[in-house]
Structure 1
Amino acid sequence: MSGPIDLHAHSSVSDGTETPAQLIGAAVLAGLDVIAITDHDSTAGWVEAFDAARGTGITVLPGLELSTQLQYASVHVLGYLVDPGNPALVAATAEIREERLQRAEKMVARITRDYPRLGWEDVLAQTTPGATVGRPHIADALVARGYVTDRSAAFQSILHWRGGYYQPHKAPEPVVGVRLIAEAGGVPVIAHPGARGPEGLLNDSRMRELVDAGLFGLEVHHRDNREGSAEAWTKTAEKFGLVATGSSDYHGEGKPNRLAENTTSRAVYERIVAAGTGAVPFRG
């Protein structure tokens, strides 16, 4: 085992453009040794990913990316090695997915007033059965209708929070999300803490609260973190006894992020595996 380790990737179970099997194929082509499947608020892609990894030599770290909300900011919590059948986690993710669905429907109703060729059926056409529906699927529908050129353009214009169509959504606070993951035997890591929104809110007081709830790490190396912030977040991780990870947040063709553009050290990966009790990595 000597290849890179990428601990944040999405499939079509949430807002990636590749099926779980295709995601594993892309990870193999990228030369990864370990890939984490971390779909938004869902573990539904695990089995397909495991099946696709069989015989390839790649290891799949099962996880999810839990949606949480802190004041005005969306804060995502990666949860590795959770028990997918944990009742509290299952209930929470089902509620979040339903909230995301209702939010998307409200946004589309607003957008349609100014972009009449867009309908809810267009958004559903961009999803797979059981997928966690969200803004990326609206973006794909806008692309399909010719209103924008790609997802990035959609998020920079029509779907921008200042665009006039934005709809906030309800989600648990980060401390609740961290606790849910930890109590499901998982390993909680705050995703891209240096991104716009979370960075200004994750002060020492809140960090201490999160650590007390079971926080295990910070995703220090990520393209959405403010440029030059890695050193500061590394120091924060050291201050609170947390691991520092790096990940691509790959979404297939849905985002410019490429597999292995940021990676996690072997030592940190092994600490995560040792800490998780809800599931085990699948070694293909």
Structure 2
Amino acid sequence: MRIDLHCHSTASDGTDTPAELVRNAAAAGLDVVALTDHDTTRGHGEAVAALPEGLTLVTGAELSCRIDGISMHLLAYLFDPQEPALLAERELVRDDRVPRAKGMIAKLNTLGVPITWEQVERIAAGGSVGRPHIASALVELGVVPTVSDAFTEEWLADGGRAFVEKHETDPFEAIRLVKAAGGVCVFAHPAAAKRGRTVPDSRIAQLAEAGLDGIEVDHMDHDLDARARLRGLAKELGLLVTGSSDYHGSRKTVALGAYTTDPEVYGEITRRATGAFPVPGTGGA
């Protein structure tokens, strides 16, 4: 069984529509795929409607959090998307994305980059706007060769010349909200140092005590040493270990199913969840 628990669509900053994502997941030989767009569940309905037979969809979202000034992402799985408190927090984070993006555009303009809001809005195509859309605009303008090259201190990385902070949820509060909505929480790419400062192990231990279920270990931004360290930490703290592609379509080079989750871990995630259930495909639209 091949299970990929971290994927994005055009509902946030991926390039596949939700329908394309599930079809491509089936074509890639996946048995289970999770749709985890940033701070939104807007793509779930389209994904369910197009779900091919033989593929199971795990509904979720990647929540934007911040602890001790460090940005971190929390993968929330199988929660009730209509639970009022979690819904309100997701909307607050999502709504802050537009003024934040406009602030980064203004900074880039002062640096001599002729980027416009209209260009970024076109690239986002109705999805929750984020730094990857601005990075794509920088690629279009020839400022950087790839999206990844935009995430440096020179441009969009945390603390970079064009960086602007946005509203992000305290992860302890995020865990509380997800749990209250019947969901399961996994810390996404916790050792992705090239994205900026990482959360220390002591804080991860505190998050585990607060109800964190797992950490994403097998990920394109983790080298072998980081994966070994994180596996040891997960064992010490009693956390589940997941692996995922963090697929964004053509915006990243990683392929669907490049990293996967053990079926036993997936089974434990589904056992712990009470807010929603995996959706088996019946042929799609």
Judge same fold: TM > 0.5, yes or no.
yes
Matched, 1:147 2:143: yes
Corresponding residue number in structure 2 for 1:101: 98
Corresponding residue number in structure 1 for 2:19: 21
C-alpha deviation, 1:163, in angstroms: 4.3
Query: Is the CA contact (8 Å cut-off) linking 1:14 and 1:40 kept in structure 2?
Result: yes
Choose the corresponding residue for 1:44, options 42, 45, 49: 42
Query: 2:151 aligns to what SS in structure 1?
Result: helix
> Following superposition, which runs of at least 4 residues in structure 1 exceed 4 angstroms of deviation?
197-200
C-alpha deviation, 1:148, in angstroms: 2.9
Distance in 1, matches of 2:196 and 2:80, equals 27
- Quick one: structure 1 residues 159 and 208, their matched pair in 2 at CA, closer, same or farther if it must change by over 3 Å? closer
C-alpha deviation, 1:159, in angstroms: 2.2
Query: Is the CA contact (8 Å cut-off) linking 2:5 and 2:243 kept in structure 1?
Result: yes
**Structure 2 gap ranges (5+):** none
C-alpha deviation, 1:149, in angstroms: 2.9
Q: CA RMSD in A?
A: 1.8
Deviation per residue, 1:90-138 (Å, 9 max, x gap): 1101111122222111000111233453111111011132x21111111
Choose the corresponding residue for 1:132, options 106, 128, 131: 128
Matched, 1:280 2:281: no
* TM-score when normalising by structure 1: 0.92
Distance in 2, matches of 1:142 and 1:200, equals 26
- Quick one: structure 1 residues 152 and 268, their matched pair in 2 at CA, closer, same or farther if it must change by over 3 Å? same
Distance in 2, matches of 1:198 and 1:148, equals 19
Choose the corresponding residue for 1:165, options 137, 146, 162: 162
Distance in 1, matches of 2:159 and 2:212, equals 32
Distance in 2, matches of 1:248 and 1:213, equals 26
- Quick one: structure 1 residues 236 and 67, their matched pair in 2 at CA, closer, same or farther if it must change by over 3 Å? same
Distance in 2, matches of 1:200 and 1:47, equals 34
Query: 2:73 aligns to what SS in structure 1?
Result: strand
Query: Is the CA contact (8 Å cut-off) linking 1:222 and 1:248 kept in structure 2?
Result: yes
Alignment of 1:1-284 (within 5 A): 2=1, 4-53=2-51, 55-129=52-126, 131-156=127-152, 157-161=154-158, 163-196=160-193, 200-204=198-202, 206-284=203-281
Query: Is the CA contact (8 Å cut-off) linking 1:195 and 1:226 kept in structure 2?
Result: no
* TM-score when normalising by structure 2: 0.92
Distance in 2, matches of 1:231 and 1:163, equals 30
Code of the residue aligned with 2:235 in structure 1: it is E
Distance in 2, matches of 1:227 and 1:71, equals 27
Query: 1:78 aligns to what SS in structure 2?
Result: strand
Code of the residue aligned with 1:58 in structure 2: it is L
Distance in 2, matches of 1:152 and 1:198, equals 13
Query: Is the CA contact (8 Å cut-off) linking 1:82 and 1:181 kept in structure 2?
Result: yes
**Structure 1 gap ranges (5+):** none
